[in-house]
Chains A and B, each alone.
Chain A
Amino acid sequence: MTTLKYPTFIPRPKEEYSGFLGTIWSWITTVDHKKIGTLYGITAFIWFLVGGIEALLIRLQLYAPEAKVLSPEVYNQVFTMHGTTMIFLVVMPLSAAFFNWIVPLQLGARDVAFPRLNAFSYWTFLFGGILLNLSWIFGEAPNAGWFAYAPNSSFPYNPGYGVTFWIIGLQALGVASLAAGFNFLATIINLRAPGMTFFKLPVFIWMTAVVNVLIVLAFPIITVALLQLMFDRQFGTNFFNAVQGGDPVMWQHLFWLFGHPEVYILILPAMGIVSEVLPTFSKKPLFGYSFIVFSGIGIGFLGWFVWSHHMFTVGLGPAANSAFAISTMLIAVPTGVKIFNWIATLWGGSIRINSSLLFSVGFIAMFVIGGLSGVTHASPPSDAQQQDTYYVVAHFHYVLFGGAILGLFSGIYFWWPKMTGRILNEKLGVAHFLVTLIGFNVTFFPMHWLGMDGMPRRVFTYPEGMGWDLSNLISTIGAFSIALGTLIFIFNVFFSTRGPKNAGNDPWDARTLEWTISSPPPHYNFAEIPEVKYRDDFWFKKYPELAHGEVSGASASEVNNDDDHHVEMPDLSYYPFFLSLSIVLILGSLLDLSWNGSWYIAGVGILMFVWSLLGWSFEPVNEETSNQKDH
């Protein structure tokens, strides 16, 4: 019997690298969840700046009536790309950065379940994002909104490359998200430290699990919808083409059936972060752990039954509108539970107020506003006046910026010492928080009023005499304050690299396993896999007198010192990189089928795809490098 073997003439990535190119090569071949987390974080932050510049352009165009900063066409491209970028290239991957960094550490694991798949997720995300933004070079960025409603996103209303770029870019990002989703679910289910039962999981892990279930279930829907839209555009099918009897409303159902769970994909990671930050800085366990966990699961579950509230004005009829109104209102219940439990966590605590805690508290305060305005358009008659106005823009920025982004910043300040060994400057952190929070409210609060005053969304300008001038001007000023806040943060990051790595293992007197190891952690994370007895295990091992029961035995921090224990880690691999590249090449070749070059790109992509898939499959894992040369 013969077995297929990995061919020995193909070089294997080495462990030791030197020089600039060597460093780059080491990042390309890495399968370390921490390095991949860092890549996710840096990339997402760069997109955050890009999306932020797009936001500033939008606000510049709207600062006064009939302004001429952007042409209508460019404005449409900018607001489409702002939305798409912030959702798919910023909030999701920034959350993924935390999943990557924190999930294995909190689980007491040495890596994620499938390290090479993890690298593949990152590279596909990166190439997908680049593919999407290549459209700027063609001068034809997507211009149909992040929701790309058919038939406005199809021929003959939208010729050109823009929407095609959007479709293939999102397909690539979907592949990345799906791969990561399965990976983290497998990790959470299988790689928990001994003794860490599901109800001893940190809440951040729980929220990660819910998010990834949502990703795994929601992304196939958008994948199918995008495929149909692409067929309508590229091959003349009529899924959404009303003229030939197709149904444009079908696109909306498919899009929002994905799109609404997507909203919770964006917000739940931040909720997980806040659930870690608040107990740590108030020195109390999370109030009502199981209520918080189950409300998170409840939000994830109910999130599937509310999509049509994005379509209250589409004309689904009073019965459908009533049903979706009630299911939407129900979501406020688990969300309210979370808010009250977080406040109860702070209540009676010994609250250390620092930038991480401030961002978490800011999250609660802003999310409450976003949630309440959300209730007002859960009611279809009231929503009839608000739908597609700036009121909705205000609402979802309170949830996604005031919620998700503030929560993620809280996580950055919280785990920065663990990731880098350095603590970010506290004064700059507080300044960053204050400027951002104030700038955020100055930007988005007036939009409530603008919407109720009849200003629709997605208009590239507005006439004089509508009463919208002052609010828009204020809003634009606010947007630049947010930019200033972000600059403070960037300065803080650069400033911190000058300082010593003196954070220590546990700067915050925190509660979970990641704080038992050194900062930054060694590449194998845990020299010995810790055993877990309690929820917030580390905390109760540090303070056994605070637990109700007896705590005995050594704390995890004593076991895990920094000696290299010669832990075997997965080998480096360049196949994930090339597999991602091949997928994006194949997707990219769909851009213009009438151009002959497309076939060459597709050919190269398919060859590379087969090669990387075979290489990946037969690549020896955990080979013993010293013995390799003798054979």
Chain B
Amino acid sequence: MHQKIFSKSRIKIFIGFTGLFFLILNGCFPHHPQSTFNTQGPVGLEQERLFILMFWLAIAVFAIVQSVLIYVLINFKRREYPIPGTDIRIPDVPPKQVHGNTKLEIIWTIIPVFLLAAIAVPTVQAIYSTAKPPISENVFEQPLEIEVVGHQWWFEFRYIDEGIVTANELYIPTGRPVNIQLKSQDVIHSFWIPKLAGKVDLVPNNNNTMWIQADTPGDYSGQCAEFCGIAHGRMRFRVHAETPENFDKWLESMRTPPVPFVGEGYGLFLANCSMCHTIDSYTSGSYEREVKIQDERWSDWYSDPEGAVRVSAPNLTHLAMRTTIGSGEQELNRENLIKWIEDPSYFKEGTRMQEVAQIYEGKKAKLSASEIEAITDYLLSLAPPQLESSSTQLETELVSKEWDSPEEQGEYLFTSYGCASCHSIDEDETKIIGPGLWDIYEKSVSKVEGLSAEEYLEQSIRYPNEYIVEEYPEGVMPLIFENLPVEEIESLIAYLKTLSKK
């Protein structure tokens, strides 16, 4: 009995051989973070197998057609015979005038049909098998649900069930399917992690789904694959596939608040960055708040791109835990972060941050080198306690400071929390972003019925959206003073009282 040509073992040898072939190619060029060969998950593997099947069929057709072509050119080249003793050369006799051969032509019409059928069947199978993850009875193997939102030019990751929001670095557990819902807030992007799965587009108003699974722990490089504007080439991300235990640890740490940081950087961040960048997505309710506010930020920009002061931006909660900045563009370290804050276009031209934020207005940051360093130190402190870096020394000296009067403390807090960046304290009440604060205490007395000036000011600091001064947009002031100690509120109000002629 003779063996079938396409027995299973032969196919295995074939695939193995192909693997070897590309491994050798890999060997010549060692580091290939985005290679679509040697994939590490079931979806990518299925796609790779299909390609390899077609690859060998194509190689066979290619070899046959090109060798026949070359043979024909050599064998049927026109020969001319010289007539001895003269310059005249005569061509050989005209060839037989064949007009065609119906049988032959039908044969070579049908052969490709069979070849294509051999591709079409596994193609349709793979289309369906890669569309949805396999259904599992086991509760612990249920897919992890993640929402990916495309923004110009970064990716937002929302863990729907865990209530966690992060950006540009996706953590997933190994060996477990991950269901991804793909959305876009602005233009069309495409979500692609070559080592794990082919791409699926993020289309506004047309939500898509895909699933991935990483079988081995590791960092996988991903990139936006649909042309989406000026920084398309710089819209990258990382996927960290962790063992289930490590993944759970990561989830836990994402829910843990960072060690409090007191220093100039905090205030500068609040004043200049916090309108667009959320940093507190570890608290309860923060998920819904972030989803809502991200929409509002974007609507601000969309309805008035020229005049907007905020735009949707990556969530920076526990930024220090990440490995990259600028949406997967650069390694996260102090030096790069300083450069990034100073001038985002140094790494990435066209960011909405540089275009919209008031400290940039399209140019370099209007901050001194020491201010930028202070913000950098603050950002690098954003990590849960066990990961927290050596920046703790900074805060101690500041906490222990003694104040002569509540007004003095209030003034200090007013500056270090960055209130002055949005609120003018001058007599002429220039509008910066928020309302001017000259004479604010007097004005507050009768602002809201039933609230004393003190109560009104406290409410405005803790819950700024409760009352919005006319002509000012809602939701611009960051909601991060909710838990300020009573003593600090009091000294802030004491300071605000001094902003008056009296």
Contact = CB atoms under 8 A, between A and B. Distances in A.
Contact of B78 (A340, A352, A381, A457): A352
A465 interface: yes
Interface in B223-282: 223-233
Contacts of A349: 76, 95
B203 A315 contact: yes
Interface in A340-382: 340-341, 343-344, 346-353, 361, 364-365, 368-369, 372-373, 375-376, 378-382
Given A332-B112, A350-B95, A373-B58, A380 B350 contact: no
B398 interface: no
Interface in A247-271: 247-249
A144 B77 CA distance: 49
A343 B48 CA distance: 33
Interface stretch (B62-70, B389-397, B433-441, B490-498): B62-70
B192 interface: yes
B223 A460 contact: no
Contact of B50 (A247, A340, A353, A381): A381
B475 interface: no
Contact of B203 (A72, A248, A322, A378): A248
A470 B205 CA distance: 40
Contact of A385 (B51, B98, B116, B123): B51
Contacts of B105: 288, 291, 337, 340-341
A452 interface: yes
B34 interface: yes
Given A329-B120, A467-B29, A376 B55 contact: yes
Contacts of B17: none
Contacts of A322: 123-124, 127-128
A245 B229 contact: no
Contacts of A234: none
Interface string B205-229: 1101100000000000101111111
Contact of A376 (B54, B112, B229): B54
A384 to B, nearest CB: 2
A365 B66 contact: yes
B100 interface: yes
A578 to B, nearest CB: 39
Contacts of B232: 458-460
B114 to A, nearest CB: 11
B315 interface: no
A5 to B, nearest CB: 55
Given A313-B201, A462-B233, A351 B187 contact: no
Contacts of B296: none
B225 A285 contact: no
A467 B25 CA distance: 11
A248 B204 contact: yes
B186 to A, nearest CB: 7
A456 B54 CA distance: 21
Interface residues of B, number: 96
Contacts of B231: 72
Nearest to A391: B36
Contact of B34 (A76, A329, A379, A454): A454
Interface stretch (A91-99, A149-157, A178-186, A497-505): A149-157
A549 interface: no
B468 interface: no
B76 A466 contact: no
A349 B98 CA distance: 9
B35 A336 contact: no
B198 A313 contact: yes
B23 to A, nearest CB: 13
Nearest to B91: A350
Nearest to A464: B31
B92 interface: yes
B97 A284 contact: yes
B32 interface: yes
B14 to A, nearest CB: 16
Given A291-B100, A314-B201, A350-B78, A339 B208 contact: no
A449 interface: yes
Interface in A96-150: 144-145, 149
Contact of B227 (A247, A317, A458): A458
B92 A381 contact: no
Given A336-B108, A384-B199, A467-B31, 15 more contacts: A151-B186, A151-B188, A242-B203, A283-B94, A287-B101, A314-B208, A315-B206, A322-B127, A348-B95, A348-B98, A379-B51, A382-B47, A382-B51, A452-B35, A458-B227
Interface of A: 71-73, 76, 144-145, 149, 151-152, 156-159, 242-243, 245-249, 282-285, 287-291, 313-315, 317-318, 321-322, 325-326, 329-330, 332-333, 336-337, 339-341, 343-344, 346-353, 361, 364-365, 368-369, 372-373, 375-376, 378-389, 449, 452-463, 465-467, 470, 543, 546-547
Give the top 10 A-B pairs by smallest Cβ distance, nearest first.
Answer: A384-B198, A454-B34, A459-B233, A242-B204, A315-B208, A288-B100, A242-B205, A372-B58, A381-B126, A152-B187
13 contacts: A248-B206, A249-B203, A284-B98, A314-B208, A318-B128, A329-B119, A337-B108, A365-B69, A381-B127, A382-B54, A452-B35, A458-B227, A458-B233
